[in-house]
Amino acid sequence: MNRHHKIIISRLLCIILFIIPVNSLSKSRAEKSDTIAYKTDSLLSGSVLVTSLGYGTNFIYLGSTISRNQPYGYSSFTYGYNNEFYASISAVHLSKLSPFVAFYTGSLNYSHVFNSWFDISAGFSRYQVTASLGDILFNSFNYGDLTFGLDWKIIYTKISGGILLSEEKNGYLQIRNSRYFETPDFTKKKLSVTFDPYFTVLLGTITKLETSEGEIVTVSPPYKKGGKYGQSKPVTTISRSFGFMEADMGLPVSLNAGKFTLEAEPGYIIPVSDDSGYSGPEGFYFTISAYFRIF
């Protein structure tokens, strides 16, 4: 299947998944019918501290591979208060690079559920690359977003708008449709399995560069170092456009046992940019994470 056919198929899926929620509006949702409900009820309810460890085949964020297509491992701590305020910090390791920690992430989040079908959340994140790896990985950046959650009973929709702040400002819009399932408890220790299949469409800013030698290069933030836009050759012309970047789908599966959760997520990314020169992430990826509630 060539790139043109992939773009057509992915955009048809986008249209279908945009239309479905409009025709299935309902204000009576199950107690745990979406991802937010699962994460807060089973891991982060009340005042808690959660630690996690994980591994992934590629660290993909906002249409860019900030691990440069390398597998990664991470560890993190998350503190939640009153089921609404959360703070987390993570350290990420790339096996092919030294020092051991390639970059750090930190985030602050607030979420609030208004009723059975509407919730909001807002967040601010910092991605800080280790100084010695700045020329290899990416420019450190901040990202702020505002998200609206709509529960249509059979599908949960998250609409998120955000701004990336690095050497310039870039806007993003993400629309995610998912459906949360949870099995009954298997044992008296409340062992259960959850599924949360999703389909996401990402729109964002893509920058097209023309170098002094007439070469056309298409990139997306966060830019790799080596010149402001990751180019060793002087840039003569810069143009920006906002549009489709990628569509991705995944199937997170979690095994829950009291304070412990093990989650595996296979996924697939389809680049859908109109610009054939844009070389965003594409193909399969996989992550596995273990969460433990300390208190």
Bridge partner residues of 75 (DSSP): 53, 91
- What count of other Cβ atoms lies within 10 Å of the Cβ of residue 272? 25
Q: Looking at per-residue confidence, does 122 or 272 come out higher?
A: 122
Closest to 253 (Cα-Cα) out of 193, 184, 178:
193
Q: Is residue 68 helix, strand or coil? A: coil
CB 229 within 8 A of CB 220: no
Indicate the pTM of the whole model. 0.80
Q: Does residue 259 come out as left (phi exceeding 0), alpha (psi in the -120 to 50 range) or beta?
A: alpha
pLDDT, tens only, 70-90: 999 999 999 999 889 999 999
| CATH architecture group of domain 3-293 | Beta Barrel (2.40)
Instruction: Answer yes or no: is pLDDT of 48 > 80.
Output: yes
Would you state the pLDDT for residue 19? Answer: 43
pLDDT, tens only, 140-154: 999 999 999 999 988
In 79-105, which positions are buried (b, 16+ CB within 10 angstroms) versus exposed (e)? Answer: ebeebeebebebbbbbeebeeebbbbb
- Look up residue 203 and give its DSSP letter: E
Confidence of residue 38 (pLDDT cuts 50, 70, 90): very low
- Residue spans of the domains in the chain: they are 3-293
Closest to 22 (Cα-Cα) out of 183, 159, 212:
159
Would you state the pLDDT for residue 241? Answer: 78
pLDDT, tens only, 92-103: 999 889 999 999
pLDDT, tens only, 172-228: 999 999 999 888 877 766 789 999 999 999 999 887 777 766 666 677 777 765 555
What is the C-alpha end-to-end distance of the chain, expressed in Å? Answer: 49
Closest to 172 (Cα-Cα) out of 290, 88, 61:
61
Q: If you average pLDDT over each of 125-134, 232-241, 265-274, which comes out highest?
A: 125-134
Closest to 74 (Cα-Cα) out of 50, 92, 58, 56:
92
Radius of gyration for the alpha carbons in the chain, expressed in angstroms and rounded: 20
Q: Is residue 190 helix, strand or coil? A: coil
E strand or H helix that includes residue 37:
helix 35-42
Question: What residue type is assigned to position 47 of the chain?
Answer: S
Per-residue CA distances from 171 to 61, 62, 167 (Å): 14, 10, 13
Give CA–CA dist 249/261, Å, rounded.
22
> What does the pLDDT average to over 118-122?
95
Give CA–CA dist 46/294, Å, rounded.
13
Would you state the pLDDT for residue 7? Answer: 53
SS3 content of the chain, % helix, strand, coil (to 5): 10, 55, 35
